[in-house]
Amino acid sequence: MSVSSIFNLIALLVTLAAAFGYVNHRWLRLPHTIGLLIIALNVSLVILAVDALFPQLGLETSVRRTLIDIDFEDSLMKGVLSFLLFAGALHVDLDSLLSRRWVIGTLATVGIVTSTLIVAALMFFGFRICGFEIPLAYCLVFGALISPTDPVAVMGILKEVKVPETLEAKIAGESLFNDGVGVVLFTVLVSVAVGGSEHGEVNLWGAAELLAVEAIGGIILGLVTGFSAYRAMRTVDQHSLEVLITVSLVMATYALATRLHISGPLAVVVAGLFIGNHGKRFAMSPTTRAHIETFWSMLDEFLNSLLFLAIGFEVIAVTITGQIVGAGLIAILVVLLARFVSVAVPITLLGFRQEFTKGAIPVLTWGGLRGGISVALALSLPPSPVKPFLLATTYFVVIFSIVVQGLTVERVVRATVRGS
């Protein structure tokens, strides 16, 4: 694609995001990102309807071509995601995170594995009920891509919904780390499903080893690059340069992680936590701190808007039949059940050692939103006969999660934490 075409595409997306955002702010008054998603989803359905009535216009084909040019999976996983994860981690209080390290760590590791196994086992039969013969290996892949809560969706909702501080720290912390763990687990299971990877044939022991190497390697890389940026920022007091250092930190960390075959999401999260806490305290003047917070807040809002807009339009790229709708509805129930078990069991066991906020289990269950990362992972699957079914099912779960759960999570908080 030429430079002018890329510019025109970005200009179109930004203009649509601004227009839809204006409509939402003036009339719908929904949370910004959810409003954009709903408007884009409705525009997509109108396009499909018009194309069905007047196929000679070729609207669906034109939009599909544009979506291919955007390359949602590549743009999110190798571009937007790194900036959004860093922006989210930058505003997380590390002390609050560390004080809840056991529950966050358990949910982000044991919880993800538990959810993956439950989803895989139940959807193995769920897909067959709907007439799809999906191998167990690919059911495990589906479990891995749909189990992590999406930090972008979660952090976006937390800006709009008042949640008790103790629960907010758990939800935000889990979403930041289980995303990285989930992406690594997904990568490993895809390698198992297709029979190997760049590391060669992958067996059960090799999968566990690869999972550990990618996760631990990502954490170490984040600490190294975060500390390097911190040392550089301590030697200067020039806010524009220090903002540039944080941008280069994100891009260099993710690029290095990709090159070294370790977890880029975990590396960026760790670097963001380092700069957002230690860096703000000891390497930034008040002026620099204000500029960095403003810059990353604005970038976060901008990229979030484009991401949720793109999710709304992706419905045009999904094949929908009666069987797929059935599989999607079953998957929604299965994913919610798996989320409940993966939250309830660790919190119940940890509850013998520490006290949890009233309503923690229902709020963490319902507030565990799925988002663009799940869609991007489904799009990144290698070509196979099962890919269209997994993508469509993923899309059903994501839309339900963002729209239904996102719009009702505050009611769940009021009913279980504040009022019941």
pLDDT tens digits for 301-340? Answer: 898 898 899 899 988 888 888 999 999 999 999 999 999 9
Read off the pTM: 0.90
Q: Give me the CATH number covering residue 74.
A: 1.20.1530.20
Pair 147, 252 in one domain: yes
Q: Which of 83, 57, 29 is nearest to 307 (CA)?
A: 83
Give the domain extent around 34: 3-68
Among the candidates 68, 86, 109, a domain finishes at: 68
- Domains of the chain: total: 2
The one-letter amino acid at 146: I
Among the candidates 68, 91, 107, a domain finishes at: 68
Dihedral angle computed from the Cα positions of residues 270, 273, 275 and 277, in that order, rounded to the nearest 10 degrees = -150
Share of the chain above pLDDT 70, in %: 96
Q: How confident is the model at residue 74 (pLDDT cuts 50, 70, 90)?
A: confident
Query: Is the pLDDT at 215 greater than 50, yes or no?
Result: yes
Pair 51, 167 in one domain: no
Pair 121, 41 in one domain: no
Pair 45, 183 in one domain: no
3-state secondary structure the chain: CCHHHHHHHHHHHHHHHHHHHHHHHHHHCCCHHHHHHHHHHHHHHHHHHHHHHCHHHCHHHHHHHHHHHHCHHHHHHHHHHHHHHHHHHHCCCHHHHHHCHHHHHHHHHHHHHHHHHHHHHHHHHHHHHCCCCCCHHHHHHHHHHHCCCCHHHHHHHHHHCCCCHHHHHHHHHHHHHHHHHHHHHHHHHHHHHHCCECCECCCHHHHHHHHHHHHHHHHHHHHHHHHHHHHHHHCCCCHHHHHHHHHHHHHHHHHHHHHHCCCHHHHHHHHHHHHHHHHHHHCCCHHHHHHHHHHHHHHHHHHHHHHHHHHHHHHHHCCCCHHHHHHHHHHHHHHHHHHHHHHHHHHHHHCCCCCCCCCHHHHHHHCCCCCHHHHHHHHCCCCCCCHHHHHHHHHHHHHHHHHHHHHHHHHHHHHHHHHC
Pair 45, 112 in one domain: no
Pair 274, 346 in one domain: yes
Output b/e per residue, 340-353; b: 16+ Cβ within 10 A.
bbbbeebbeeeeee
What is the reported pLDDT for 73?
Answer: 75
Pair 322, 352 in one domain: yes
Please provide the average confidence, as pLDDT, over all residues in the chain: 89
Pair 19, 145 in one domain: no
Pair 284, 264 in one domain: yes
pLDDT tens digits for 8-63? Answer: 888 998 999 999 999 999 999 998 889 999 999 999 999 999 988 998 888 888 88
Pair 167, 23 in one domain: no
What is the reported pLDDT for 200?
Answer: 46
pLDDT tens digits for 234-254? Answer: 999 999 999 999 999 999 999
Q: How confident is the model at residue 137 (pLDDT cuts 50, 70, 90)?
A: very high
